[in-house]
Amino acid sequence: MRGVSILCAAVCALVYAQAHAWTDPVDAPAETMPLVANSLKLAIAKSGDRYIAVGGRGEIVYSTDAKTWKQAQVPTRSTFTSVTAIDANVWAVEIGRASCRERV
């Protein structure tokens, strides 16, 4: 009977661990944030008629008037520390690496 209890506990622990597995923020997409316009921006750049701002948790937002911001879909939750634009090419820099390049 003791062996069945240990086996049952091991199976339950394995199922729980798989359901609650930790995901590295680098590998997880950024969450859609309803108040993204109010969050801290770490850098901003202008590309054509658009402003692009970056921040923590994979936040990249863009605007044409620098007042109304829309959140871009980003494949990481890492913090972006810098952004630069040359014509329609935009590069956002994560801590330690350049990661996102988009044409706007």
Domain boundaries, the chain: 23-103
pLDDT at site 47: 92
Furthest C-alpha separation in the chain: 72
Q: 3-36: per-residue pLDDT in tens?
A: 555 656 555 555 555 555 666 766 778 888 888 8
pTM of the model: 0.70
Residues 23-103, CATH architecture: Beta Barrel (2.40)
Asked if pLDDT for residue 52 goes beyond 60, the answer is yes
Q: How far apart are CA 41 and CA 87, in angstroms?
A: 22
pLDDT at site 29: 80
pLDDT at site 61: 95
